[in-house]
Amino acid sequence: MATKIVMEALSPTMEEGRLVEWKKQEGEPVATGDVIAEVETDKAVMELVARADGTLLKHVVAAGTTVPVSQLVGVIGEPGEDVSSLLAGSANGKAKAEAPAPPAVAAAPAPAASVATPKPVLAPTAAAPGGRIKASPLARKIARDRGLDLGAIRGSGPEGRIIQRDVEGAAVQSPEPAGPGGPAFRDVPLSQIRKTIAKRLAQSIGPIPTFYLTSEIDMERTWDARETLVAGKDRSPDEPRISYNDIILKAVALSLRQHPDCNAWWQDDRIRYWNEVHLSMAVAVEDGLITPVIRLADRKSLREIAREARELAGRARERRLTPAEYTGGTFSVSNLGMFDIDQFTAVINPPEAGILAVGGITPKPVVVDGATAIRRRMRVTLSCDHRVIDGATGAQFLRTLKGMLENPLTMVY
């Protein structure tokens, strides 16, 4: 008599688990209590043990598959035993996980895009046990052309094969192909714990569970540096006059490079960590706000940033930006210092996970080396999507930023 192996609830809150690895292969004998598979729960990687003696007859789901609790994952029985009846019962509900059911064709009569492209399915990747990624040639080509990492994409085809719809979905928001430094980003499937955090926090606070970190930065040295730059005798008249904001943008970009955790997109079922920094810069326009993007800001000189920021802001006010110029940012900066705002919180610009709200630079009395001194100070507040950025992560980013602005020379190397 064959025995079903089902996904067990290995933690009190576990609703589904990812079968990380089969520890027993088909055909191998198993005894009650033997570890037959490793399962990642919402908390940790746990062991799934055999509840019967016999032979592991079948892996009903492949390693890497996420399966709801109590779903059939395997069968133990006698060699040669017919287990088709057990399997038949599970055929429909097999590996529901986060894989969307293939589009219900009958229910999608739309004539134009007749075969609905489902949303990309991510997380457990298509990597076979040997590490080889199964992907259709077309999917590989698309991934290659768009700089997508197949390892980060979950395939929805047979045995996890990555197919066109998987990469098409993944690529929708890709702003531009890989830059000179390699792939533009790295997709990381959501672990169970990340998923649980996301779900809980979102329930608690709204669609984007935001928290805020504020830091006050001493701007004396940046002030001096900027004065020097602006006063430079060699500066040709058509070169931009460097603003504080330009320096802040540069510092943010460089800091993000050091803290890619904050340079990321929330994508529902995964987090996209960008290897490139595309800074969205909030610009007030007549009836609202737009965020033109300075691409690859971390690789640009202050002069280039200044020129580009000026140019983009100018055209933003004239409403002459193209969509490509105000989408695809990886992090935003909003500066209200010129409006005499000391400190504020900015609203996250999804799918970005962070935005920095920059206040004005004001002289104020502070204690320096045990004595009261008047220093030019600036307050910045980082709004963080808690599904992506944790408190400590955001704090570390701010500390780096603060360090750079307080000692601008560090930006040079």
Name which of residues 159 to 218 contact other proteins (CB under 8 A).
163-165
Q: C-beta of 175: minimal distance to other proteins in Å?
A: 24
Q: Which of 44, 108, 368, 374 binds other proteins (CB under 8 A)?
A: 108
Is residue 103 near other proteins by the rule CB under 8 A?
A: yes
Q: C-beta of 154: minimal distance to other proteins in Å?
A: 14
- CB closer to other proteins out of 81 and 168: 168
Q: Which of 12, 79, 80, 110 binds other proteins (CB under 8 A)?
A: 110
Active-site residue (options: 59, 259, 278, 386) = 386
Is residue 275 near other proteins by the rule CB under 8 A?
A: no
Give the number of other Cβ atoms within 10 Å of residue 281's Cβ. 26
Is residue 132 near other proteins by the rule CB under 8 A?
A: no
Is residue 100 near other proteins by the rule CB under 8 A?
A: no
Is residue 363 near other proteins by the rule CB under 8 A?
A: no
Q: C-beta of 176: minimal distance to other proteins in Å?
A: 22
Q: C-beta of 65: minimal distance to other proteins in Å?
A: 16
Measured between alpha carbons, how far is 245 from 313 in angstroms, rounded to an integer?
A: 12
Measured between alpha carbons, how far is 250 from 56 in angstroms, rounded to an integer?
A: 59
Q: C-beta of 116: minimal distance to other proteins in Å?
A: 8
Q: Which of 1, 12, 88, 106 binds other proteins (CB under 8 A)?
A: 106
Residue 386 falls in the annotated catalytic set = yes
Contact window for other proteins (CB under 8 A) among 35-43, 77-85, 124-132, 135-143: 135-143
Q: C-beta of 150: minimal distance to other proteins in Å?
A: 14
Is residue 117 near other proteins by the rule CB under 8 A?
A: no
Is residue 114 near other proteins by the rule CB under 8 A?
A: yes
Is residue 32 near other proteins by the rule CB under 8 A?
A: no
- CB closer to other proteins out of 140 and 235: 140
Residues that bind other proteins (CB under 8 A): 102-103, 105-106, 108-111, 114-116, 136-141, 156-158, 163-165
So which residues are the catalytic ones? 386
